[in-house]
A and B are shown apart, each in its own frame.
Chain A
Amino acid sequence: MSKHHVRQRDWQSHPPYTHPPYKSTMLRGPSKPLVPIAQTLSELTGPVFGHECVAELDSDLTKNGAKNGEPLGERIVVTGRVLDEDGRPVRNTLIEVWQANAAGRYIHKVDQHAAPLDPNFFGGGRCVADDDGRYRFYSVKPGAYPWGNHHNAWRPNHIHFSLFGPCLATRLVTQMYFPGDPLLDLDPIYQSVPKGARERLVSTFSIDATEPGFALGYVFDIVLRGGAATPMET
């Protein structure tokens, strides 16, 4: 039987647990090194979520919270592929997304930012990658919003993503940003990612993905940890 394992987390790509400019990491990021573990069935299995979890409107955030009309804001379509480190599509994998509305306000009860809620926008949804790893959802472009990290701190426009991939070890939660956002240079969460890797979190505007007369297209590919080649494959 071949020895199967998933490639290690690439710490040249992921942010460190403590990043002083992002203040809440200082009390919440562990200070001791992670303990190495030989991957077992516990890490190489994981919950299997696919098409059965996604209802008809889940992948259209312009409709799944609509009460009496359409949400305000610039309509967008976000699409891309979920791949592993070998460039292979991660098929039928669930993608959960959540975001602020066009005014930069989350529907979350704790968000007290004095920007309006949109009665027609919920901001949460999900979709499933197809056989080619490709996913797509509709939304409105999220607004920037202030936060308390430091004086005059503003989060850049972003959409939160959550993915499982094939097993527990491939779990990923991340944020997608928008090209040309001047707040990226000032954002300690984005800047926590090593230079050379953080750029992967910025989506690309695509006129090809843009739907004429309807929605601006942004492309965001996601790469999950890959499985090392087994003896059978080499």
Chain B
Amino acid sequence: MSPKQTPSQTVGPYFAYGLTPEQYGYDHTSIAGPALVHGEIEGERIALTGRVLDAEGQPVDDAMIEIWQADANGRYAHPAGARGSNADFAGFGRAGTGCDAENRFVFETIKPGAIGDGQAPHINVVVFARGLLSHLFTRAYFADETSANAADPVLQTVEEARRGTLIAERRQTATGPQYHFDIHLGGVRETVFFDV
């Protein structure tokens, strides 16, 4: 008999010293943090920021967000990518929402390129929190990629009225371009989560 999947359990309220210790000021190294760019990397530097909101619109102060993305040329740092990988850009980030007065996550990264299979540029987003018994998968697409988004096969599978929940809005700030991506766990604007 083949073994069955180990069930998921919530990350709980006390993940910070284990999973995001450097961001929260604990004396332990982190495997990844909110800054994805270290040194000279090709591509447009951006911030991906937003909040996690519960079904009543209250910000969640103990969520952890992970992002996984390609580099500016659409290459994932993984052997399965046909385009090869960029060893200088790991493409993975992790941030808790408990270190910011407004409970935002703020990733410093680069805008990913299209990966070459017809999908529009996007950042894969995974949400963990107390009260989430299993993690949630969603995606952040870019508001200024209108034509690529219109042709994206994944966005096409989402009912039109909910597609906007997957689009990060671009804002120009003093520190550079910022894409704003709020994640609604429930309520009328509930974000689309995928059964990955």
* Chain A residues with a Cβ under 8 A of chain B: 4, 8-10, 13-17, 19, 22, 24-32, 34-49, 53, 55, 64, 83, 85-87, 94, 96-98, 100, 106-111, 122-126, 160, 162, 167-169, 171-175, 189-190, 192-194, 197-198, 200-201, 221-226
Q: Is the interface of A mostly helix, strand, loop or mixed?
A: loop
The interface stretch among B14-22, B37-45, B169-177 is B14-22
Contacts of A19 in B (CB 8 A): 133
- Assembly CA distance A167 to B13 (angstroms): 25
List the A side residues contacting B27 at CB < 8 Å.
122
* Complex: A25 Cα to B136 Cα, angstroms: 13
**Given A41-B117, A168-B68: A53 touches B6 (CB 8 Å cut-off):** no
Known: A45-B81, A47-B92, A98-B19. A14 touches B5 (CB 8 A): yes
Instruction: Name the A residues within 8 Å of B139 (CB-CB).
Output: 42
Known contacts A25-B131, A34-B194, A37-B194; decide if A124 and B5 are in contact (CB<8 Å): no
Q: Is the CB of A94 within 8 A of B196?
A: no
* Segment among B54-62, B102-110, B143-151 that sits at the interface with chain A: B54-62
Beta-carbon contact of B18 and A97 below 8 Å: yes
Contact residues of B between 57 and 93, Cβ < 8 Å to A: 58, 60, 62, 66, 68, 76-81, 90-92
**Chain B residues in 8 Å Cβ range of A85:** 2-5
Contact A43 B196 (CB under 8 A): yes
With a cutoff of 8 Å between Cβ atoms, the chain B residues found around residue A96 in the complex are 18-19, 31
